[in-house]
Chain A
Amino acid sequence: MADLSAFQAWIAESARTLGEQATYLTDLDRAIGDGDHGSNMDRGFSACAELAEAEEFPSVDAYLKKVGMVLVSTVGGASGPLYGTFFLRLAGPLAAPGEIGARQMGQALRAGVDGIVARGKAERGDKTMYDAFAPALEAYEQAAAEGRGLSDCLTAAAGAAREGRDATEQMIARKGRASYLGERSAGHLDPGATSATLLLEAAAQALR
């Protein structure tokens, strides 16, 4: 079960790990994009991490909505609208009062990932963040169906995200700036799938 402070810890942990990995993400992006994914994510999540100190939030959903808005307003590129939409949609199913368990978080993740698909129009195999999010959501829902707790479900999701991320290495990009490279995009991990995996790993650590 997770409460507001756990969600704030998730964002803080995401900001920390994205800050630590900013150069790595930028290097991945330099290979197939324009080399700014790390600095953009770092800037956005640093702004989100400061939120908890600057403002008090009445509920988890109010907080996540604000996180989404801040990401939309600070990240830029394609990642800003996509991650922003993810957190804005995540908020909906978490609006009920009380602590959040595996079932509710599963509904939220589905809403968030659906939001990314609606905004980015990505499909599996396009070599995008969705290639990490899609298997993560499946693994989460399967673990939840087996009656496992929030922490276990998120751990399963993070593991599946890692596999999904690794599989992007061989894919040919069909969305985003990497798509302009065509076959030359193969042989590189997708930076979006990599940052998505970092976010889900942070969730597995913080939401329990």
Chain B
Amino acid sequence: MKKFLNDPQDVVREALRGLALAHPRSLRVDLERRIVLRADAPAPGRVGVVSGGGAGHEPLHTGFVGVGMLTAACVGEVFTSPVPDQILGATTAVDGGAGVLHVVKNYTGDVLNFEMAAELAHESGVRVEQVLVADDVAVEDSTWTAGRRGVAATLLVEKIVGAAAEEGADLHRCAELGRRTAARAASMGIALSSCTVPAAGRPTINLGPQEIEVGVGIHGEPGRARVPMAPARELAALLVEPVLADLAPARGEPVLVLVNGFGGTPLLELHLVFAEVVPLVQAAGLVVARSLVGSYVTSLDMAGCSLTLLRLDDELVRCWDAPVDTPALRR
């Protein structure tokens, strides 16, 4: 393993130190509790939007703290959810009296820790609502599983509820909008290589030189199947088909297309994939109304990408287009 490290155990805190130094005017970073806050939080009467999760998915979530998006983010150990103390700390710090919305990816650890934090926040008089993001169609969604994983649609939910909160929407309204966004989005990912967790020091999954993992999650956890490497055109079809099959959009419907890199794939290749995805989406009768290409919800150094489609409506478009000023997303 060759990585820029001092002590593998201290990677999260040291990275947060860098984030704080890079954004001294717009962010406040609590290194002890690993909370990243908008410098101007809390805003009286404005809903706070808090998200968080394990480190290793940068820029999610810390890169999305700022005007028009998250009010605070809590960072866990690499690929490990933050703990209730942290989430509670962020929640109480951003509550301006209008309540706080938790955006949570559907992983058991994240769900349990946010749930405990919400219970504690209620006890201290802060109103909390939760939006659960569960967009990964690679895994079965049934009463017999923990449901689907929450992956790249998380960033879309954060952007859209962040815009609503910025406009002054109340907690109930922000939560409703977040749930609607989450319900209208679906994702699918492919890994070309494994990620390497710094503390572990070796690859999480063993992929052969000509093997890829279809349906991989953002922790390098295995997906649907392991298949031979193929040209980008064929890989794009492997991404588009299951997402369309799940979303079942109506013909003529406008969609947002997100091609998201996992950390080890250059923008050159992501744009190449996007060029393959667009005609497939159009062939299904959909209108590519908005798009985003880049590495936003990553898996450390994993090569690969995911495709997310979001079925848009007028309100979602308006919130997506609203101004945003964060370290990783700016408009």
Q: Mark A19-38, 1 if CB is under 8 A from B, else 0.
A: 00000001000100111100
Residues of A near B204 (CB, < 8 A) are 30, 34-35
Q: How many residues in A have their beta carbons less than 8 Å from beta carbons of B?
A: 30
A80–B145 Cα gap in the complex (Å)?
A: 20
Which of A53-61, A98-106, A146-154, A179-187 lies at the interface? Answer: A179-187
* 8 Å CB contact of A80 from B78, B79, B109: B109
Residues of A within 8 A of B199 (CB): 36, 39
Q: How far is the CA of A34 from the CA of B204 in the complex (A)?
A: 8
B85 adjacent to A76 (CB under 8 Å): no
Nearest Cβ on chain A to B301's Cβ, whole angstroms: 15
Taking a contact as CB atoms under 8 Å apart, the answer to whether A180 and B77 are in contact is no
- In the assembled complex, the Cα of A184 lies from the Cα of B223 at a distance in Å of 9
Interface segment among B62-70, B91-99, B162-170, B213-221: the answer is: B213-221
| Interface size, B (range) | 35 or more
Residues of B near A78 (CB, < 8 A) are: 81, 107-109, 112
Q: How far is the CA of A182 from the CA of B223 in the complex (A)?
A: 9
CB pair B109–A179 under 8 Å, yes or no, is no
Check B144 for interface membership: any CB of A closer than 8 A: yes
In the complex where A174-B145, A179-B145, A180-B145 touch, is A34 in contact with B108 (Cβ < 8 A)? Answer: no
Among A3-11, A67-75, A133-141, A155-163, the one that faces the other chain is A67-75
**Dominant secondary structure at the A interface:** helix
Query: Is B222 interfacial (CB-CB < 8 Å)?
Result: yes
Shortest CB-to-CB span from A77 to chain B, Å, is 4
A184 contacts which chain B residues (CB < 8 A)? Answer: 222
What chain A residues lie within 8 Å of B78 (beta carbons)?
36
Pair A181/B113 contact, Cβ less than 8 Å:
no
Q: Which residues of A contact B219 (CB under 8 A)?
A: 34, 177
Indicate which residue in A35, A76, A79 contacts B197 across the interface (CB closer than 8 Å).
Answer: A35
* A127 CB, min distance to chain B CBs, angstroms: 11
Q: Output the least CB separation between B173 and chain A (Å).
A: 29
B111 to chain A, nearest CB (A): 8
One of A81, A181, A182 near B112 (C-beta < 8 A): A81
Inter-subunit contact A80/B113 (CB<8 Å)? yes
State the CA gap A179–B146 with chains docked (Å).
Answer: 6
Q: Is the CB of A176 within 8 A of B140?
A: no
With A and B bound together, what is the CA distance between A11 and B136 in angstroms?
39
**Residue on A nearest B144 in the bound complex, by CB:** A174
Given known pairs A30-B204, A177-B221, A180-B139, the reply for A36 and B197 (CB within 8 Å) is yes
Decide if B82 is an interface residue (CB 8 Å cutoff). yes
Interface check B116, CB cutoff 8 A: yes
Question: Would A36 and B80 count as touching, CB distance under 8 A?
Answer: yes
Give the top 4 A-B pairs by smallest Cβ distance, nearest first.
A77-B109, A81-B112, A179-B145, A76-B80
Given A39-B199, A76-B76, 11 more contacts at CB 8 Å? A36-B79, A40-B77, A73-B84, A76-B83, A76-B109, A76-B113, A77-B76, A80-B113, A81-B109, A176-B108, A180-B139
Contacts A/B (CB < 8 Å), 7 sampled: A34-B219, A35-B79, A72-B85, A76-B54, A76-B76, A81-B115, A179-B146
